[in-house]
Amino acid sequence: MNIIRKRSNIILFLTIVFFAGLVYHTVNIFVNANDWVLNTRNWHLTEAGNLDYAGSICDCKGNILAYSSNGDRHYNDDESIRKACFHVVGDDSTVNMYNSVQNIYRAELIGNNFLFSFGMPKNLRKGKDITLTIDADVQKAAYEALDGRKGAVFFYNYMTGAVLCMVSTPVYDPENIPSDDELENDEQYEGVYLNRVCSGLYAPGSTFKLVTAATGLENIRNVEKVVYHCNGTDIIGGNDINCEFVMGDVDMTGAIVYSCNCYFGHLTDKLGRFAMTRQAEKMGFNKSIVFDGFESAKSEYDVLELDGNEFAWSGVGQANVLETPLNVAVISAAIANGGVPVMPYIVSGISGVDHEPRQVLGERMMSEENAKNLSDMLDSAVAVNYGKGSFSDTFDVCAKTGTAEVADGQPHAWITGFCRNEECPLAFAVVIENGGSGYREAIPVAAAVLDAAEKSLSDQ
Ligand SMILES: [Zn+2]
């Protein structure tokens, strides 16, 4: 009797364990469907070319950027558009390009409904289509303006957050993939999988003067009216800070207009490490920016270990300061938008279902009054120094260039700013790696993209 009861207890126990396991795995598949589908052991991914029946990716005008046909993945018909959209769209693999739509939205694109797709032939499974906010023609204009140089271009609407243009170079043509040997050894492909807008960390040079100016405005009353006499050089922290030329008497506007290193080195020294660090962190440093699954590298402002002279140089975006083009653009967006940035977004719809209109606000970076002050200073920089003629007549552009010295080679050429026109509310950042002068090299790129952007926005 006892033996029989023991046996039936064991059978009951095993039955419970079996059903508990079944329930656990079923729930697990439902709850973790997205993780599961990206698991490398999943047969979707271990097959070569798992995008071969995936959904398509379109720009804001309905131009197809990527699609699958007869078991192959294809990209736009125009080679320049394919290359210009390379980093936003991504390649076929899940390992090369972290910050790309085909990586981040892989589960949606290939269709991840386990119960309905398991065992179903791949060509009958239906992945979702994704619509982006970027415009292929603006992408192309940016790609062509970079003209074979390495760099990054980012333009977005500072009122809605919609990204109009995100281009990173170098690239290759996804319809004609270079050999592994070429990709590894050819200098022209150096860092080809890096989306430099999000993941490129560069010395920001004079574009960082916006952070130092904001720190001054936020911490010292009427600082913008204080006049400093620039002799072309100043000794701070026992060593030189130099300007390109002798600028004479400059207030903050003059120092922004002529990009006076001595003024900003002096102001940095006066503000101190605590105030500079606190304000830099308010303006996006030492943390990532995340939007629609894109995740930026952390811009770096860490001055505690620097000597006095290096600390002064940090206030002009040199020393050990590093920044992503994305962060540079978000700071300009905040200045344009009264001190609070609207954060970017790039996915406007998935399979015909529009994403909720999102206007995600970032942390306030400065008071509305100080944003207005800075905006006027950037307006003067264009009007007095760069020349309004640098941009098409129709634009009211406020901007700051940068020529960031680097250890090896030519400086990085920068420009950041925004358009004040109501019909063209774009904030932007452009960097050309080792491109030389920001004034000579970066301004024409921004101007060309603005022309394409205005055309795009007037068509929308
Ligand atoms: Zn100066």
Q: Convert the pLDDT of each residue in 263-275 to its tens digit.
A: 999 999 999 999 9
Residues 51-71 as b/e (b if ≥16 CB within 10 A, e otherwise) read bbbbbbbbbbeebbbbbbeee
What pLDDT score was predicted for residue 460?
73
What distance in angstroms lies between residue 239's CA and the mean position of ligand 1's atoms?
15
Residue 35 scores a pLDDT above 50: no
**pLDDT bucket at 45, cuts 50 / 70 / 90:** very low
Token pair 């002279």: residue = 309
| Orientation angle between helical segments 209-219 and 261-282, nearest 10 degrees | 80
Q: Are 420 and 394 in contact (CB under 8 A)?
A: no
**pLDDT bucket at 23, cuts 50 / 70 / 90:** low
What distance in angstroms lies between residue 209's CA and the mean position of ligand 1's atoms?
13
Residue 77 scores a pLDDT above 80: yes
What distance in angstroms lies between residue 229's CA and the mean position of ligand 1's atoms?
8
What distance in angstroms lies between residue 312's CA and the mean position of ligand 1's atoms?
14
What pLDDT score was predicted for residue 71?
85
The 151-157 sheet, strands edge to edge: 163-169, 151-157, 426-432, 412-419, 397-404
What distance in angstroms lies between residue 212's CA and the mean position of ligand 1's atoms?
15
What distance in angstroms lies between residue 105's CA and the mean position of ligand 1's atoms?
48
- Flag whether the pTM goes above 0.85: yes
What distance in angstroms lies between residue 230's CA and the mean position of ligand 1's atoms?
5
**pLDDT bucket at 61, cuts 50 / 70 / 90:** very high
Percent of the chain with pLDDT over 90: 76
**pLDDT bucket at 145, cuts 50 / 70 / 90:** very high
Cα–Cα distance between 111 and 126 in angstroms, integer? 6
Backbone dihedral region for residue 36 (phi beyond 0: left; psi -120 to 50: alpha; all else: beta): alpha
Going along the chain from its start, the domains and CATH numbers come out as 55-132 (no CATH), 139-459 (3.40.710.10)
Q: pLDDT tens digits for 349-376?
A: 998 677 666 789 999 999 999 999 999 9
What distance in angstroms lies between residue 300's CA and the mean position of ligand 1's atoms?
25
What distance in angstroms lies between residue 261's CA and the mean position of ligand 1's atoms?
5
What pLDDT score was predicted for residue 34?
43
What pLDDT score was predicted for residue 1?
46
Lowest model confidence (mean pLDDT) among 28-42, 60-74, 323-337: 28-42
What distance in angstroms lies between residue 236's CA and the mean position of ligand 1's atoms?
13
CB atoms near residue 423 (< 10 Å):
9
Helices (H), 85-122: 86-89, 101-104, 106-110, 114-117
- Which string of DSSP letters, residue by residue, matches 357-388? P---B----S-HHHHHHHHHHHHHIIIIII-G
What does the pLDDT average to over 107-130? 70
Beta bridge partners of 228: 250
What distance in angstroms lies between residue 232's CA and the mean position of ligand 1's atoms?
5
Cα–Cα distance between 142 and 254 in angstroms, integer? 31
112 contact partners, CB below 8 Å, separation of at least 6: 33, 34, 36, 37
**pLDDT bucket at 32, cuts 50 / 70 / 90:** very low
Residue 386 scores a pLDDT above 80: yes
What distance in angstroms lies between residue 147's CA and the mean position of ligand 1's atoms?
32
What pLDDT score was predicted for residue 14?
59
What distance in angstroms lies between residue 243's CA and the mean position of ligand 1's atoms?
5
Residue 24 scores a pLDDT above 90: no
What pLDDT score was predicted for residue 185?
87
What distance in angstroms lies between residue 320's CA and the mean position of ligand 1's atoms?
21
Helix (H, G, I), strand (E, B), or coil: what is residue 200?
coil
Q: pLDDT tens digits for 202-217?
A: 999 999 999 999 999 9
What distance in angstroms lies between residue 337's CA and the mean position of ligand 1's atoms?
29
What does the pLDDT average to over 310-314? 98
Q: Are 284 and 333 in contact (CB under 8 A)?
A: no
What distance in angstroms lies between residue 256's CA and the mean position of ligand 1's atoms?
10
What distance in angstroms lies between residue 265's CA and the mean position of ligand 1's atoms?
10
Q: Are 127 and 53 in contact (CB under 8 A)?
A: yes
Cα–Cα distance between 320 and 434 in angstroms, integer? 17
What distance in angstroms lies between residue 223's CA and the mean position of ligand 1's atoms?
17
Q: pLDDT tens digits for 150-190?
A: 999 999 999 999 999 999 999 999 999 999 999 988 888 99
Beta bridge partners of 431: 152, 414
What pLDDT score was predicted for residue 46?
39
What distance in angstroms lies between residue 258's CA and the mean position of ligand 1's atoms?
7
Q: Are 365 and 339 in contact (CB under 8 A)?
A: yes
What does the pLDDT average to over 437-459? 95
**pLDDT bucket at 92, cuts 50 / 70 / 90:** confident
What distance in angstroms lies between residue 427's CA and the mean position of ligand 1's atoms?
27
Mean pLDDT of the chain, nearest integer: 89
What distance in angstroms lies between residue 250's CA and the mean position of ligand 1's atoms?
8
Residue 219 scores a pLDDT above 70: yes
Residue 30 scores a pLDDT above 50: no
What distance in angstroms lies between residue 245's CA and the mean position of ligand 1's atoms?
7
What distance in angstroms lies between residue 259's CA and the mean position of ligand 1's atoms?
7
- Find, among 100, 95, 73, the residue nearest to 171 by Cα: 100
**pLDDT bucket at 11, cuts 50 / 70 / 90:** low
What distance in angstroms lies between residue 247's CA and the mean position of ligand 1's atoms?
5
What distance in angstroms lies between residue 89's CA and the mean position of ligand 1's atoms?
43
**In the chain, how many H helices and how many E strands?**
18, 17
For 281-347, give the secondary structure using H, E and C.
HHCCCCCCCEECCEECCCCECCCCCCCHHHHHHHCCCCCCCEECHHHHHHHHHHHHCCCCCECCECE
156 membership: H or E segment, kind and range:
strand 151-157
Using alpha carbons, list the distances in angstroms from residue 16 to 7, 9, 20, 23, 26.
14, 11, 6, 11, 15
Tell me whether residue 266 is exposed, middle or buried, using C-beta atoms within 10 angstroms of its C-beta: 0 to 12, 13 to 18, 19 or more: buried
Q: Are 424 and 391 in contact (CB under 8 A)?
A: no
What does the pLDDT average to over 131-149? 97
Tell me whether residue 142 is exposed, middle or buried, using C-beta atoms within 10 angstroms of its C-beta: 0 to 12, 13 to 18, 19 or more: buried
